[in-house]
Structure 1
Amino acid sequence: RQGYGYHCTGDELFDWVTPELRAKLHDRTPILADLARLRWIESELAARDGLVVWIDADTLVVDPDWCVPDSEHTIFGEERWVQRTTEGAWRAYQSPHNAFMGFRAASPVLGFLAYLSESIIERADEAHIAPQMVGPKLLKALNNLAQFTLVPEAGAVSPELLAEWVGEAGLATACYEQTARAPLALVNLCSSLTHSEEDAERVEQFLACYGA
């Protein structure tokens, strides 16, 4: 609708990761995908001008009229992740995420982020590498130093918050609304955290309300 060019990729994305790293983390595809998407973006920017934006397949567009901000060389989505603390209170954790991110060729971040992600995987113990180690967790650590440009319209929803969005609004929704900076245009549904049939049904309900 906005005149963007689109490209959909499947498992061929992992071809952008070296065979050695694929063998090392053969059953940890989310970690490999965090690196592979960076290498793929590098290849696209080598072939064309402009801004290349990555959007995870489990991201729902809820505002089709929204335009991707294109004035920066590097952008990341911003999530307000709502969950209970160990004391039982609700809290929204603000951080960058890589389900939505964009780079121009002039970005000083892309090459470094790809190099750092690959280096971490190479040196990590495959039996103990943490999920999101080279994805959101790495971005959060770097953002504390670099203060990236974050896009609050490109967010993510936790399973607890989604349960209220498709049901009755409660404390999780109130917590989110107290911290939200802008209406969402894109919502990452975090399918990797959808483990139960009930979780899947909530995603289906949300898609029925807002889906394409």
Structure 2
Amino acid sequence: MKTLVYQSFRTERVPSWVSACMATVKAWAAAQGFDYRFYDDGFLARAPDWFRQRCGEQLCPVTDLARLVVAKELRAEGWQRTIWMDADMLVFDPAALQITAQSGFALCHELWLYTDATGARRASHRVNNSIAVFCADSLHLDFFIDACVRIGRQREVIGKLDVGTDFLSALRQILPFPLLGNVGMLSPTHITEIAAGKPARVADYMRALPGPLACANLCGSLQGQRIQGVAADEAAFEQAVARLLASRGGVINGLRP
């Protein structure tokens, strides 16, 4: 099946850990026999000007829409399957990451652990598009593009998750669709713990997953931000990436029962 893997990121001041992540995706694509294409910041212009203006400084919703528009462009070029992967997606066990969809589309299962206002630990199972697979016969690509535009027009300010995780998670409650189950979502807390070699909360996260992980989104948009009392700086991301690659994910998968 003629398949293209594509990514986008800026070409200046690229953190070394992001370059390492993209290198793993490119290597994985080559090993699978897939083609690979990189887009620079011009990728963002696939979203209309008015949409980008309503996103303000939030790039996530801009890329949420742009990746869909580009998938449609690629389908017109003749690609039978397109696979978008976020630039901060790290593939640490490439043999375990298998994209088998031959028709339709597939997104990712997301598990997010958090502490609520009462101090209780909670688990949120949602949908994200850090990997988004669309096959040429998919009837939903135009629908997703239209939905992003419609949601955007209803908001004066488009929030970070409005056309991504929030929309997709709500949609799946009424429209079941396939999810990749071995794609992780590592929060700043997890990044700092992996970097320090003291993965207490990471162990909780891994035990709550249905199976081991082949790759993980490292939530690069949260670098430097304090999330649940923890902020991960660039050094922490670099160290976490190094540990995950050196162990082929063993530092986190080994925490499963």
TM-score (norm 2): 0.75
What's the counterpart of residue 182 of structure 1?
Answer: 211
Question: Does structure 2 retain, via aligned residues, the 8 Å contact 1:31–1:135?
Answer: yes
Pairwise CA distance, 1:154: 1.9
Counterpart for residue 164 of structure 2: 135
Query: Which of 58, 70, 91 matches 1:61?
Result: 91
Aligned counterpart, 1:75? 106
Deviation at 1:47, TM superposition (A): 1.4
Q: Which runs of 5+ in 1 are unaligned?
A: none
- RMSD of aligned alpha carbons: 1.9
* Shift in Å, 1:202: 2.2
The one-letter code matched in structure 1 to 2:60 is P
Report the counterpart of residue 122 of structure 2 in structure 1.
Answer: 91
Check whether the contact 1:80–1:157 (CA below 8 A) recurs between aligned residues: no
Q: Quick one: which amino acid aligns to residue 31 of structure 1?
A: P
Q: Give CA deviations for 1:59-104 in whole Å, capped at 9, x if unaligned.
A: 1011122322223411001121122222222222111111111011
Identical pairs, percent: 29
Give the Å deviation of 1:148: 1.6
1:150 corresponds to which residue?
179
How far has the Cα of 1:22 moved from its partner? 3.0
Paired amino acid for 2:132: M
Are residues 97 and 106 of structure 1, via their aligned partners in 2, closer, same or farther at CA, if it must alter by over 3 Å?
same
Of the structure 1 ranges 141-150 and 85-94, higher mean CA displacement relative to structure 2 is found in 85-94
Q: Could you tell me which residue of structure 2 aligns to residue 161 of structure 1?
A: 190
Q: Which has the higher contact order (CA 8 A, sep 6+)?
A: 1
Report the alpha carbon displacement of residue 51 of structure 1 after superposing the two structures with TM: 1.5
Partner of 1:199: 233
Distance 1:52 1:92 in 2: 31
1:32 matches 2:62: yes
The size of the alignment, in residue pairs, is 209
CA positional deviation for 1:33: 1.2
| Distance in 1, Cα, partners of 2:206 & 2:232 | 24
Aligned to 1:13: 43
- Shift in CA distance, 22/174, structure 1 to aligned 2, threshold 3 Å: closer
Partner of 2:140: 109
Q: 2:70 is paired with a residue of what secondary structure?
A: helix
